[in-house]
Structure 1
Amino acid sequence: MCIAYLSIRKHPEWPLFIAANRDEFHQRKALAAAPWQSNPDIIAGIDCEGGGTWLGINKNGRFALLTNYRDINSILPNAPSRGNLVSEFLQKDTPALDYASAILTKAEHYNAFNLVVGSPDKSVYISNRSHQTKPAELQPGSHVLSNHLMDTPWPKAERLRKALDSIELDFLPDQLPDIFDILRDNTRAADNDLPNTGLSLERERLLSSPFIVSPDYGTRCSTIIAVHKNGQALFSEMTYNSMGQAVSQNKFDFLIEI
């Protein structure tokens, strides 16, 4: 997962709304989002290499999302899979604050990450690159998480925030096509606005758009999660090939207890 927009208790009808793109190498196999065979209450994709996931929700309303923090100079070759931080939360009933606090105590063993865990009424954020001593509760409003700390104003993050802030969410699920169109924005940032994360200029340019297309690496899927105040929830995912063309779309509707 490389960019995610979160609307936290901002809309009176939809206390939780997430729109996200997952970027990854095309050769890294993954299963499209679906109820898990091992636990049908969980809806998420599966990373076939690490065994975890990047974004998911369960039918109790617990959700989690992960992005990598771009830190090319501090890579641990034998670090545990970060995707398991998401899947473990979805399979447990530990309160989000307690779970995130426990992860912070061992966060240095993982490669750089950002993690959000919670439910429609409360969500917390941690990163092992923020030097935080306790999880930060996400306040009501919109937030964007990419490959730096929460709400870092990278051009792609601010571009996505502005576009999705303009969506009123009054007509979900009919607005799903419009939201997917926003997530497919491949506009790159100007060179003088690019972050300096240690990559080549060519690579920084490639990664500067919300939607990434290249032969070896790019946006593999877009995901929308929304939970209504009455507990009705939807999960919709669109997957793409290496040319950025949509190859599949699925949608799951379910009811959770708020």
Structure 2
Amino acid sequence: MCIATIAWQWNADRPLVIAANRDEFYHRPAAALQFWPGDEVLAGRDLAVETPSTWIGINRRGRFALITNVRAPSEARPDAPSRGPLVAAFLEGDMSPSRYIFDVASRRSRYNGFNLIVGSVAFDAQECWFLHSKDFGPRRLTPGIYGLSNATLDTPWPKVQRAVGRFTMDLLMRPGHDAMLDGLRDPVMAHDASLPQTGVALDWERRLSSVFIATDTYGTRASTVLEVVRQDVTVTERRYPPDVSNGAPHEQSTHQFTVRRSAQKAQPASSSSEP
């Protein structure tokens, strides 16, 4: 992910709402949102990595996670392992969110910079944790609304402030997922005076300053809305082609299921897709 807005326990009936964009190079292969083999994990998949890898997902037990990179090109190491498996390992594993985030913290120096959120909306174990790879340690999130891009949590970049503002209105108005996804397609760039200085050229700082990004080689590949109402989960993913700025149509799919107690067997989920 490259921008995410998160409402954690902001409403008693809606313990979790996430609206997020994944920005990536167009040539990097990826699979659409779907249940992985085993019918437990619901996520897209980064096919450029041999081990299971994703940017955002949730499983049938209510375990969820997402990751963004930290934009610091001068610190990037080409031999560092991919960060997407950190999300997949949590979704496929049994370690509690707190134990997992501290485990990742102990080995974070192996990776290029990242922000990781892991949590659970399970019946008897609701918790959410955040880790920035350069901070002192993990942080347990309290109920509230958060914005995350490529710095750290709630860094006041213009795109984060715009996204959080729209997201907050959506939480109050409760529109459908289509309207929330439309809100994530915000192309407005920040004024030069308010641009962050992250080590990339000025023209790229401008292009990367919008919530929705579209360049010749890199841009928003997918938008995701993940919502939990009581224990019912709905996840909608909208996927964009490289030539979206020229009016090419997107694809969209929605999956729904109910978080199960650990002793329950998986039930068939409902899903829909449209061109």
**Smaller-chain TM-score range?**
over 0.9
Q: Residue by residue, what CA displacement relative to the aligned partner does 1:183-215 show, whole Å, maximum 9, x if unpaired?
A: 001110001000000111100000000000111
| 1:151 paired residue among 150, 154, 160 | 154
Which runs of 5 or more structure 1 residues have no equivalent in the other structure? Answer: none
Please, what TM-score do these two structures have when normalized by structure 2?
0.89
Tell me if structure 2 keeps the 8 A contact 1:71–1:112. yes
> Which residue of structure 2 lines up, in the alignment, with residue 124 of structure 1?
129
Deviation of the 1:143 alpha carbon: 0.3
Counterparts of 1:1-258 in structure 2, within 5 Å, are 1-37=1-37, 39-51=38-50, 52-120=53-121, 121-130=126-135, 132=136, 134-168=137-171, 171=174, 175-229=176-230, 231-244=231-244, 245-257=248-260
Describe the shift of the 1:101–1:222 C-alpha distance in structure 2 as closer, same or farther (beyond 3 A).
same
SS at match of 2:243: coil
RMSD: 1.3
Describe the shift of the 1:97–1:223 C-alpha distance in structure 2 as closer, same or farther (beyond 3 A).
same
SS at match of 1:9: strand
SS at match of 2:103: helix
Tell me if structure 2 keeps the 8 A contact 1:239–1:246. no
**Letter of the 1:208 counterpart:** S
Deviation of the 1:55 alpha carbon: 0.4
**Letter of the 1:162 counterpart:** G
Separation of aligned partners in 2, 1:170 and 1:12:
16
Tell me if structure 2 keeps the 8 A contact 1:240–1:247. yes
Deviation of the 1:81 alpha carbon: 1.3
Q: Larger deviation: 236-245 or 152-161?
A: 236-245
**Letter of the 1:140 counterpart:** P
Q: Residue by residue, what CA displacement relative to the aligned partner does 1:34-73 show, whole Å, maximum 9, x if unpaired?
A: 0012x31100011011241000000000001000000101
**Letter of the 2:23 counterpart:** D
Separation of aligned partners in 2, 1:59 and 1:156:
32
Moved over 6 A (4+): none
**Letter of the 2:47 counterpart:** C
Percentage identity across aligned positions? 39
Deviation of the 1:175 alpha carbon: 1.2
**Letter of the 2:198 counterpart:** T
Deviation of the 1:247 alpha carbon: 2.3
SS at match of 1:238: strand
Tell me if structure 2 keeps the 8 A contact 1:169–1:175. no
Q: In the comparison of the two structures, how many residue pairs are matched? A: 252
